Structure formats: structure tokens, C-alpha cells
Structure 1
Amino acid sequence: MKDIIVVIGTGSIGQAIARRVSAGKHVLLADLKQENAEAAAKVLSEAGFEVSTCIVDVSSRTSVQALIQTATQLGQIGGVIHAAGVSPSQASPEVILKVDLYGTAVILEEFGQVIRSGGSCIVISSQSGHRLPALTQDEDRILATTPAEELLQQPMLQPDVIRDSLHAYQISKRGNSLRVMAEAVRWGKRGARVNTISPGIIITPLTKDELTGPRGEGYRNMLKLSPAGRAGTPDEVAALGALLMGPEGTFITGSDFLMDGGVTAAYWFGELAPISVSK
């Protein structure tokens, strides 16, 4: 039976990882917009990959279940690359929580029931989850283990607690890494693995727009004062993704990998530290 790699969110990072791990396999590209999936499919198919496309809305469990049905009709699901999401500059706090937090929980719950033994998943999170101060043990457990359908009802996620879109994004990304850690236990019972990558500023078409947009000066300063002194590339994220999904990463599961060129290090302990943090 054909091994299927499901790519959810067909942007530069999802495509780059898929190119590293999908030789000889069937790639199912799923995106909220059909035109995005088809554009990615053209690139990958011209590079020699066997590709299909599908529409998915990760904030809808029914839509995710339909994606899984499509995938299982093609073969057995051996890999999942979850790279879908919205940014604080794109959406309201409510939409961010629904897509990035709830949507990721649904992806992990649903694919955790069908992933084959030996399969693996990468969730693309963000450096922003590492900027959030420590949560309480109870808050960590809520984000990690609350069933997806009850998650957004939790008091810590209500509008009077979530300050703005950035706060919603940080909570969501912290929640992603915690959820992956918890789900790794359940996925392990199927002989499968799941990990998170938390990239910093990675050069994509959207990033280029943001670097020249209203918040561009802040982003450029962030890169300038980081230890690496530059942005990352999708291929660098893909190199780590290939390690985690491949045979050399079989002892790694439930882990979160921050790769941001040291921006977070500079935020907590360097020149990017806010006054309240540096003191």
C-alpha cells in the first residue's frame, strides 16, 4: 500500500519539508485555498513527486475528517506535516485561537487515530510560544490535555483574559508544543511519533511583506540584534524536519525545537530584552 505524506498548509515551509521526506511516496497537499494547493502541486509534480490536492479548514473537525478519508483512500498515512496557521497581523484573537490552538488539537486527535506504525508528524509552531512567561502547572495541563471541543471554553482563553492577537498567538503556540508533548504518549501506542518545530523569522513571501510593512522596522531590528544576525530559510527548517521524520530521529518524540537564530535568547538575555524582562 502506498505511503501517504499529508501536508496541511502548502506554503514554503510545508513544501520544503515535503521535498525532503516524500521521495517514492504520495504527497497529499491540503490548504484552505484550492489555488494554493494547486500551485504547490505544480511545483512538486514538476520535481518528480506524485501529488494530489485537497481543501481543508483546520478549524473544522468535519473538514479534517474529510481530509483523512481522502488520504486513507490513497494509501496508509505515514507522515503529517502540519504547517497551517494565521499570524497576529492577519487575524483576530478569536480566529487565531480557533485555527492555531483548536485546529492543531483537532489535527493531532484525528490523525493520531490513523497514523501507521512507524509514522511521524511535524507541527510547525513559532518562536512566539517561547516569549510567553511561564504558565502555571494547571494552565500547562489545560493547554496540553483538554479535549479539543472543550478547549476554547476554558477560562484562561476567554476574551477578558486574552489581551490581543499577539497574546492569543503566543498562547496558541505554547499550547501547540504542550499538546504535542501530551499527544506523543498516545501516538506512541500506535508506534508513531510527533514533534514540534518553533521557527523564528523565516523568509517566505508573507515574511517579505511583513519586513517591508508597518511592523517591518521591529522585525528588522529583531534580526539585527539576534546572535545569527539574519532570517532563516525554509530549507533550514526542512533539514530539521527531515531529521525528525526520518530514520535518524526515531528516538525523538514529544519534543519542541526552537530554531530562531537566537532571537529568543536575545529577548530574554540580550539586547532585545524589554525593560521589565532585563531588570
Structure 2
Amino acid sequence: MAQRPSEEPRDVVVVTGAGGMGTAIARRLGSGRTLFLADASRGQLDRTVAALRAEGYAAHGVLTDISDRAAVEKLAQTAAGEGKVVAVAHTAGVSASIASARTILEVDLLGTVHVIDAFETVAGRGTALVAVSSMAGHYASLSPEEEAALATAPAEELLSLPVVTAVGDDSLRAYMVAKRANHVRVEAAALAWNLRGARINTVSPGVVSTAMSKAEAESPHGGHMLKMLDDCGAGRTGTPGEIADAVAFLTGPQAQFITGTDLLVDGGQAAWVRRHMRH
């Protein structure tokens, strides 16, 4: 009988967010790897981990509120303790239709910075992080000075920046600023990640068919967003699988020279807004 080789630690994949997009990415990246799934909802997390385990994935759930820096640091250390972290897909977030401006800033803006900072400390040669932002970040009209502040301010100072406090109670504005901050934060982080032999990028989905996008579609501006999909020629929403494919590309060997940038996956909607929409 052939002898089994000694067990070596598997490569590790971390996915924040156990919703439709996070689950699709976990399935796409998790085969043959140790998979850590993080979410702030215990029920959602347990259901998703159970489903993945039933499908043969070596999945583990870690209850994590990404707005809590210590919790994210613990997640990073836990994952790194199980093997080499080869991919991090950060999908956890809230939307403008269901969350207050304050929550959006704490989760989508500050939480993303926590993920970038915490996983930088455990990143090594070949590690790739992809933060899922949004095409909404491409609609934010910020000055170079405001973007520079969002890109480089220490995490503890972010929520007190004038560009952040100026959003007030406007959830949609908070969402656009947070998602643009994701873009510029990743641009600024690329140097430190490069020096570790690692890469970092964002993906900006358009309207994708998830539970969160369903809530968006039913919000006051949802009909406008869906009409824009027809007007731009896409004629449909995206699928979680298409976002998972984009993340797989950016974390895979074909993208080893791609870092510090954003990939729009929106069916051409942002391009239509810029070049064809009558303002």
C-alpha cells in the first residue's frame, strides 16, 4: 500500500462577508485550501460554513466585525497560524439602502482599512488581496487633496477628516466616499505590499444579483439604477460568479504584475455615465 506523504499545511484563503458574493468567491478560491470565512452575523456565517463543508471545503467560520480593528487583527493572525495566506477577498460591507451614513463609514471605509492593514502584517511573497469596492466609487467627485487624505491618513483619524464629516446623514454620499476611499487606499498600500512580494487591488462591481442588490433595487434610487443597465446596453445585472471570476483572476498567477489598481465589473455602466449620459 502506498504511503501517504506527511501532512503539510494547506495554503489559506480568507473571505470576509458570507453573503452571495463572498460565498461565490469562497467556492471559487477555496478548493484544496484551508478556507476562513468571516462575517458579523453568526447565523449567516454558520449557515454558509455548513453549506461549504457539506460540499467538501475545509471551511472555518470566524465571527468578525470588520469595524473592530482588534477583531480583524485576530482574524489575520488566526488565518496565518494555519498556513501561508495566499488570497484575501474582502467582500464584507453594507449598502446605502439599508445602513446609516455612520455605519457605512465605519464598515465600508474604516473596516476596509482595518483589513488592508491587518493582512499586510501577515502577507508574504505571493499573497494577493482583493477588496470588493463598487462602481459607486467612480461617481464620487473629490478633490486631489481629499483623495490624498483618504489614501494616507492613519486609520484612527479617517472618520474625522473633513471630507468624511461633510457627508452628514447622507447615506448615498457616504457610500460613494467610502468606495472611492477603497480605491485610493489600495493605491497607496501597493508599495508596502510590493515590498513584501504581495499584491493588492480592488474590484468594483456594478449591479450584481445578491440579497443586498435586491434591497438596493427596492430602494428609492433602485429603479434608476436598473434603468441605467438598460440604457448602457448591458441589459442585465451581473452574477456573483462573475465577480468571483474577477477576484480569481486578480489573486491568480495570470495577474502577478497587476497591483494597486481597480477593475470595474459593471457591464459598461460607468463608461456610459461618463461618455453618453445626459447630465
Whether TM exceeds 0.5 here: the answer is yes
The match for 1:261 among 253, 267, 271 is: 267
Q: 2:115 aligned with 1:107, yes or no? A: yes
Q: Is the 8 A contact 2:10 2:34 kept in 1?
A: yes
CA offset digits 1:99-118 (Å, max 9, x no partner): 11111111101110112211
- Greater shift after overlay, 147-156 or 216-225? 216-225
Matches within 5 A, 1:47-126: 47-126=55-134
Amino acid at match of 1:22: G
In structure 2, what is the equivalent of residue 137 of structure 1?
144
TM-score, reference length from structure 2 = 0.92
CA offset digits 1:203-250 (Å, max 9, x no partner): 012323443455442232122212211110011111111111011111
TM-score, reference length from structure 1 = 0.92
In structure 2, what is the equivalent of residue 45 of structure 1?
53
Q: SS of 1:30's equivalent?
A: strand
Number of residue pairs aligned between Structure 1 and Structure 2: 271
Structure 1 position 270, deviation (Å):
2.3
Q: Is the 8 A contact 1:21 1:246 kept in 2?
A: no
- Structure 2: how far apart are the matches of 1:264 and 1:51? 36
In structure 1, what is the equivalent of residue 159 of structure 2?
152
Q: Is the 8 A contact 2:66 2:114 kept in 1?
A: yes
Matches within 5 A, 1:140-219: 140-158=147-165, 160-162=166-168, 164-212=170-218, 214-219=220-225
The answer for unaligned runs of 5 or more in structure 2 is: 1-8
- Structure 2: how far apart are the matches of 1:157 and 1:269? 28
- Structure 1: how far apart are the matches of 2:29 and 2:95? 26
- Structure 2: how far apart are the matches of 1:21 and 1:217? 33
Q: Is the 8 A contact 1:156 1:162 kept in 2?
A: no
CA RMSD of aligned residues (A): 1.6
Q: SS of 1:6's equivalent?
A: strand
Task: State the percentage of identical aligned residues.
Answer: 42
> CA separation of 1:60/1:155 partners in 2, compared to 1, >3 Å: closer, same or farther?
same
Amino acid at match of 2:77: Q
The match for 2:14 among 6, 12, 15 is: 6
